[in-house]
Structure 1
Amino acid sequence: MSNLLEVRNLSKVFTSPGGPFRKARAMHAVNDVSFDLPKGRVIGVVGESGCGKSTLARLILRLIEPSSGTLRFDGDDLLAKTSAEMRKLRADMQMVFQDPYSAIDPRYTVARAVMEPFDVQGREHAGTRESVIAELLEMVGMNAGLAGSFPHQISGGQKQRVGIARALALRPSLLVLDEPTASLDVSVQAQIISLLEQLRDDLGLTYLFISHDLSLVRYFCDEIMVMYLGRVVEALPDTEQPARHPYTKTLMDSTFAPTPNQRRVITPLEGEVPSPFDLPPGCAFVDRCPHATAICTSETPVLSARGGHAVACHNPL
């Protein structure tokens, strides 16, 4: 199976300028991330808020520029592309944003929102404008009669469906889904996930799926990538694979089990997440890890694979 996306040693550093009463500081929002996304697969990216998930998504689409690393999409070097070339290429790689309320211009009708990609790319569409709008809305389970509605006249779930329809307008091969269900009710979340599964099968899509919800990621994705303070600490080739990193295990153990006799008693992590501007030497997880040893305080663990299962830990489980 060929790779649609190849990411190597991708990093993004944000700097805070100094002043009379403070020194300049640097934060590695994404730090040396590497992975492959094969065509037709779904990789889930999980981790706590501030771990770099959304920054990674924007780096992949070059909505922000990386500090270092390489990006290849379907064999093309993305970092060698000009702004005009990237604009054209983004027709094949689209993003669904976390907040459906701010993702759509409140002055646009649903019809204008879903047709916006054709206007931006200067592309002709097959058939009449009305038929294309109706087809896109039907694809995401919406009534074509809502085409004249404004965002404030439709629900949050419908807004997210409009965002998905807009992303699919030019028939991309890659969708980057940045927590597409986070702001939706549980019942609507299930509808959106079911829709994404159907579209993946019907259109042969490839997904990078970012979420806080580990149980959802385990259900929806083929592989899982766990991030902590900008780094990938574990990459599981199978969603049923047991965790080997203490952080991943805590995340998995904390997911809710609806059956009472399957619920687990877990030991919560001690300590606080360190400041990304002031990371400890060695492993960034060292102050919260119950398995930390002396080497963890001095050497940064390297992500290394065994049987396709990669973990960055000096004392893996």
Structure 2
Amino acid sequence: MPNLLEVRDLSKRFTSAGSAFRKARSMHAVNGVSFDLAKGRVIGVVGESGCGKSTLARLILRLIEPSGGAVHFDGDDLLAKSPAQMRRLRARMQMVFQDPYSAIDPRYTLARAVAEPFEVQGVTPEKPMTDEVAGLLEMVGLNPGLATSYPHQISGGQKQRVGIARALALRPSLLVLDEPTASLDVSVQAQIIGLLEDLRSDLGLTYLFISHDLSLVKYFCDEILVMYLGRVVEALPDTAAPARHPYTRTLMESTFEPDPKKRRLIAPLEGEVPSPFDLPPGCAFVDRCPNASALCRSETPALSTETGHAVACHHPI
């Protein structure tokens, strides 16, 4: 399948404000990220909190401006587009946010929340708006009778379904899913993932799936990017591929070992995550890695690819 999304060397640098007592400091929230996402595929981006996953998602949609790099969506150079052109393109690229409670204006009925993208884009649907909203609610498994309800009158899982319905309103090709199940109960998470699987099959959608839950990513996604402190440290070409980076391996072993006794025997990651404002020279993972050498402390490993499996490590497993 052709690529829907191509990301090359995408970076975002943030600078903290200085003061009389402290000079300004800068950090790379996203540092040189590259990947391709083919039409109809699902790529999962996984890593600990603060690794840059959500920043990456917002950079791709240009909700925040990158410091460098390139993003092409279906052949269009997104970073060359004007704000007006980007607004039109976002009809085909939509985001589902982590927190369903704050994603919907509490003053809006569900009907108005779902219809809002038509208003923002200045698009008139083919069907009457009430029919369009009813169809979107049914598509995500909600009773159209809820259209006159307000957000406080429905559950968190229902709110997330409304968020998905709103994202689908303009018939996008790409959905960026930023931890869409993180704030939901486990049983509700399974229902939302099942819904997303059905929508992908029925509508031919492409997903960029952001999560800290490796077991969920391994179940739901076709490929996996593992991020650590702004960089991709491993790109697994499929979910059956063995981990080759020590960080990925420890995460996967602790996540997927079903026996709690064996899980306790897995060596935990030692050391503290370094400050993104003060990264060590060489590999950022060096102080937590059991395989670190002098080379790791002096030279940042490049993301090298062997048979489609990329890993940024001087001593891959």
- Do the structures match in fold with TM over 0.5? yes
Q: Report the TM-score when normalising by structure 2.
A: 0.98
Task: Give the Å deviation of 1:255.
Answer: 0.8
1:46-61 matches, within 5 Å, as 46-61=46-61
**Is 1:271 the counterpart of 2:292 in the alignment?**
no
1:259 Cα deviation from its structure 2 partner: 5.9
- Per-residue CA deviation, residues 184-221 of structure 1 (Å, 9 max, x unaligned), is 00000000000000000000000000001100000000
Counterpart residue type for residue 175 of structure 1: L
| In structure 1, distance between residues paired with 2:86 and 2:266 | 46
TM value normalised by structure 1:
0.98
1:194-213 mapped onto 2 (5 Å cutoff): 194-213=194-213
Structure 2 equivalent of residue 17 of structure 1: 17
- Pick closer, same or farther for the CA change 1:295–1:260 going to 2, 3 Å: closer
Equivalent residue for 1:251? Answer: 251
Query: Displacement of 1:17 after TM fit?
Result: 2.1
Deviation at 1:152, TM superposition (A): 0.6
Q: CA deviation at 1:19?
A: 1.5
Cα displacement string for residues 278-304 of structure 1 (whole angstroms, at most 9, x for unaligned residues)? 000000000000000000000000001
Residues 144-159 of structure 1 mapped to structure 2, 5 A cutoff = 144-159=144-159
CA contact (8 A) 1:27 1:277 kept: yes
Q: Deviations over 1:196-250 (max 9, x none)?
A: 0000000000000000110000000000000000000000001011100000001
Q: Distance in 2 between matches of 1:38 and 1:256?
A: 27
- For 1:74, the equivalent position in structure 2 comes to 74
Does the Cα contact within 8 Å between 2:176 and 2:208 map onto a contact in 1? yes
Letter in 2 for 1:26: S
1:128: how far off?
Answer: 1.4
Q: Is the 8 A contact 1:253 1:264 kept in 2?
A: no
- Give the Cα–Cα distance (whole angstroms) in 1 for the partners of residues 42 and 263 of structure 2: 28
Matches of 1:291 and 1:259, distance apart in 2: 26
CA contact (8 A) 2:254 2:263 kept: no
Unaligned 5+ residue runs, structure 2?
A: none
Specify the alignment match of 2:167 in structure 1: 167
The aligned residue for residue 143 of structure 1 is: 143
2:301 is equivalent to residue 304 of structure 1: no
Equivalent position of 1:186 in the other structure: 186
Q: Distance in 1 between matches of 2:259 and 2:30?
A: 37
Cα offset, 1:37, TM superposition: 0.4
1:23 Cα offset (Å): 1.1
| 3-state secondary structure, aligned to 1:146 | helix
Q: 2:65 maps to which residue?
A: 65
Gaps of 5+ in 1: none
Residue 233 of structure 1 aligns to which amino acid in structure 2?
V
One-letter amino acid of the counterpart of residue 105, structure 2: D
Letter in 1 for 2:15: T
CA distance in 2, matches of 1:83, 1:133: 28
Aligned residues: 317
Against the structure 1 CA distance between its residues 264 and 219, is the aligned structure 2 distance closer, same or farther, given a 3 Å change threshold?
farther
Instruction: Give % identity.
Output: 80
Q: Over residues 94-151 of structure 1, what are the superposed CA-to-partner deviations in whole Å (9 max), with x where a residue is unaligned?
A: 0000000011111111000000000000111121111111100000000011101111
